[in-house]
Amino acid sequence: MNNALVQTDFRFQQQTGVYHGKVRDVYFLADRLVMVATDRISAFDVILPQGIPYKGQILNQIAARFLRATEDIVPNWLEATPDPMVSVGKRCKGYPVEMIVRGYLCGSAWRAYQQGERVLCGVRLPDNMRENQAFPEPIITPTTKAEIGEHDENISREEIIAKGLVPEKEYEQLERYSLALFRCGQEMAAGRGLILVDTKYEFGTYNGQILLMDEVHTPDSSRYFYSEGYEERFRNGQPQRQLSKEFVREWLMDNGFQGKEGQRMPEMTPAVVAGIRDRYIELYEHITGETIALDQTSGNATPADLATRIETNVRNYLS
């Protein structure tokens, strides 16, 4: 039995609404929000049919760790983590864009580059680059924030400002914050024998102040390469050893699925689910350098048990 928690339906005191995202369920209170990291998993902007046990806990703990480690660079929304799968923090007004920072040419950027594109989100890319090659300097390639069932869309800095999505001075601050966070993330990754390849950041405002929101430097929002062997693999044109969710996308692509209309989702057998679960545990332990203290009750608990535990912990914290 897959005991992953893939759906929540809480009613907290002072709750004013709820948003069910691809992975997280966000419960809005008066001036705070409760963010539940479910065990759902998504790829190509599609929620996969099976959840991954422990994934929510792993993502929530990585995100909290890096939010606390970067709060000297930019203030963030996080106040507390009252449950392994939950973060509580300030209710910000989010900007309608995501800041994607890329240090290397890979993933969707490489697929576009292969098709001849040399301008990505208004950024001119050098000619004659190879897959997994480092850019001269990290670049920012923003996307719009999609609603459920829709795809994020690439957008340029100029379009964001022209459309009034973010005021120019505030957008310039988002760029500065994003690049500073990325440099910090690269330094932290290097200390763990990793290369932070690309990532996304989300920002919002609270009482007129720009805050970092959501998750930061998690395997769902970031791509890592192993430092050892990178140069040799790059010289030989070999795939890099990755520490990210890219292995899920590759499994889907190998089975003929990229989220396009008419494509059929491959079967997620218990073996596939267990394999993804183990990779997420590996991700946590390699990124942090620590053995994760998994909540062992989660492995045997039913989704209803997990929901009860979360509701109890959150209610106790809020009261």
Residue by residue, DSSP assigns 246-286 as HHHHHHHHHTT-SS-TTPPPPP--HHHHHHHHHHHHHHHHH
What is the Cα–Cα distance from 136 to 119, expressed in whole angstroms?
15
Distance from the Cα of residue 224 to its chain's centroid: 12
pTM for the whole thing?
Answer: 0.86
Whether residues 70 and 151 share a domain: the answer is no
Which helix (H) or strand (E) covers residue 143, if one does? strand 143-144
CATH number at residue 77: 3.30.200.20
Q: Is 309 helix (H, G, I), strand (E, B) or coil?
A: helix
Q: Would 259 be classed as within a structural domain? A: no
Q: Is 199 exposed, middle or buried (0-12, 13-18, 19+ CB in 10 A)?
A: buried
Q: Would 125 be classed as within a structural domain? A: yes
Per-residue pLDDT of the chain (319 residues; tens, 9 = 90+): 578 999 999 999 899 999 998 899 999 998 999 999 999 999 888 999 999 999 999 999 999 999 999 999 999 999 999 999 999 999 999 999 999 999 999 989 999 999 999 999 999 999 999 999 999 999 999 999 866 545 679 999 999 999 999 999 999 999 999 999 999 999 999 999 999 999 999 999 999 999 999 889 988 789 999 999 999 999 999 999 987 787 898 899 999 999 888 999 999 999 999 999 998 898 888 888 888 877 655 556 789 999 999 999 999 999 9
Whether residues 223 and 296 share a domain: the answer is no
Whether residues 276 and 303 share a domain: the answer is yes
Whether residues 100 and 72 share a domain: the answer is no
Helices (H), the chain: 55-69, 107-114, 157-162, 168-190, 230-235, 246-254, 270-288, 296-300, 303-318
Whether residues 141 and 219 share a domain: the answer is yes
The whole domain housing 36 covers 17-93+268-318
Q: Is 181 exposed, middle or buried (0-12, 13-18, 19+ CB in 10 A)?
A: buried
Q: Which residues pair with 102 in a beta bridge?
A: 139, 198
Whether residues 150 and 222 share a domain: the answer is yes
Count the domains in the chain.
Answer: 2
Whether residues 219 and 148 share a domain: the answer is yes
Distance from the Cα of residue 35 to its chain's centroid: 14
**CB 219, CB 248: distance < 8 Å:** no
Residue among 63, 142, 141, 138 nearest 96 (CA): 142
